Amino acid sequence: MCGIFGYVGHPSLKSSRGKSAAKIVFEGLKSLEYRGYDSWGIVVRSQSGKSKLIVEKHVGKIGNSKLDSSLITHHSSLALGHTRWATHGGVTVENAHPHLDCSGKIALVHNGIVENYQELKKTLIGAGHRFKSETDTETVVHLVEEYAKNKPFAEAVRSAFLDVSGLNAFIFLSIGGQMVAVKSGTPLVIGLGKGENFISSDPSALLAHTKRAVFLKDNEIIQLTNNRVNLIDTVSEKRIKPKISNLDWKVEETKPGKFAHYMLKEIYEQPQVLAKIAANGQQIEKLAKIVEDAHGTFFVACGSASYAALSGTYLFAKIAKKHVNFSIGSEFNYLEDYIHSGSLVIPISQSGESVDVVEPVVRAKKRGAKIFAIVNVVGSTLYRTADYNLILGAGVEKAVCATKSWTAMVANLIYLTYALAGRVKDGQKIIEKAAKAVEEILTDQYLNKIKKLVMKLKNSRDVYIIGRGLSYATALEATLKLKEVCYIHSEGFAGGELKHGVIALIEKGTAAIAFAPLDETYEAIISNAIEVKSRGGYIIGVSPKPNEAFDFYLPVADCEEGSIIASVVPIQLLAYYLAVEKGLDPDKPRNLAKSVTVK
């Protein structure tokens, strides 16, 4: 969840772009703002006179902040920065990273949770260490300080890491000019430059500097200088040859361009994403064979990806006549007794780093299951863990809420299902239809309708959303968009559940969105909408066909199973413009992070 960015430049202090190390790291942190955070900080190793570590920390957003001029003017080729989401300890300057040891000679930034920090802290206090924060992180920098009394710096880091429990990524900077990183379960990636190197929690932050990257694996420790990386296994202590990957995203994808927010930009990129997926039929056919041969298939996902996975279970049943199990990632461990050597586990994740998905996948692999990951980020933990990969092809998605990644997930599942049924061309046609349907929504005329609906709903306390069959997952995804972007209480239901309790919540003026595609669910959903309307509800119909039950009509072209995709787009726009109308930041909703890497 936290953002990390570090820089090691040439000792001559000249970066490739003529910027100070502190400035490079500051800009790196700004590129990570989308991940969500409540405080931030930077440490540099000053080379002005006697070497020392200088720290600047703040509560709040970076925004248009400027670094303290004294930090920039310090001669330094080494800097390390961090954006923090509070987990242990309140939102204070003292709890913000980086943290220093007692001597001020070692700095640490960290992502994860040190599960045994209380035990370690008690021992360290007994040894005379003084703590300044409430965090679990500070425990580890003092632990390294303790080991460094008798060991070289990198060995002290290794020893401390082996004492720590939990999923963590640590980066240390010493007054002696060493930068050392180590990880287990939480992402770190090295960016390889010319005479300079970078380290980050997110590969997209590296694109402004390099496309050559090394993704750290669990239990690997790396010593970083300006012109080399030394990689060692923490258990065997053997040297490892770094595996260099190429980041295939473009720098332009990381900027909003002409759009006011990333979310709006990413909504408008969906037709291009769909066109790209439609051209991927050959790979889809090969991967479908893997699913066909499996004896027991399980989808595992969280958040928007879980609703895409749910739609996948309906698609597999309807089109391919194949049963697929589904579990939310955080619940999968409680079902793992069903996993065996013939099982196929299909994790779905934009980032490929969500801990609630990664952890059960690793456990399933240990039980002998094959892993078929559907991910957006090449080189991510899920990508490297999997036996097979299907790349979403959504490009960089920087807004916290999923828009084009949701579309890419569902489109790939539609394609995969049709390939499994031996009808890959039909799947391609449906995705092309969906792309056209989305283009028809992204027009000025349609936006005027959305903006009228915004004025109707801007003061709404509740919004209920119903769908049936394939549109049930659509309702759940639409609900999540209103919750996370607009802070509106919204709930999605299968239409048939109305009479089983939900209808008690309907009163005069209650807004309800009904997804009514032209499939076998149409008449039943219209009947549900009429039930809500008869109790005073205000019905917003999303359908290819108008109906007198609708008080407000949002037309969507009929594109068969592609309607799962097209029908969500008007609600994506609704959520965006509602957020803007309410003065909220649609890119960075409160309390949320793009990639959830801690439990």
The per-residue b/e assignment along 320-349, b for 16 or more CB within 10 angstroms, e otherwise, is bebebbbbbbbebeeebeebeeebbbbbbb
Whole-number Å distance between alpha carbons of 218 and 503: 49
Residue of 2, 401, 486, 559 marked active site? 2
CA distances from 189 to 335, 381, 458, 502, 581 (A): 32, 11, 42, 46, 38
Tokens of 518: 């032209």
The full length of the chain comes to: 599
Q: Which of 240, 171, 251 is nearest to 211 (CA)?
A: 251
Indicate if 594 belongs to the active site.
yes
Whole-number Å distance between alpha carbons of 489 and 500: 20
Strand, coil or helix: 181: strand
Residue of 57, 121, 404, 594 marked active site? 594
Count other C-beta atoms under 10 Å from residue 280's C-beta: 18
Residue 66 CB contacts under 8 Å (≥ 6 apart), including other chains: none
Phi first, then psi: give them for residue 246, nearest 5 degrees: -105, 125
Whole-number Å distance between alpha carbons of 575 and 264: 10
Count other C-beta atoms under 10 Å from residue 170's C-beta: 27
The DSSP symbol for 252 reads G
Strand, coil or helix: 207: coil
- Give the catalytic positions in this structure: 2, 594
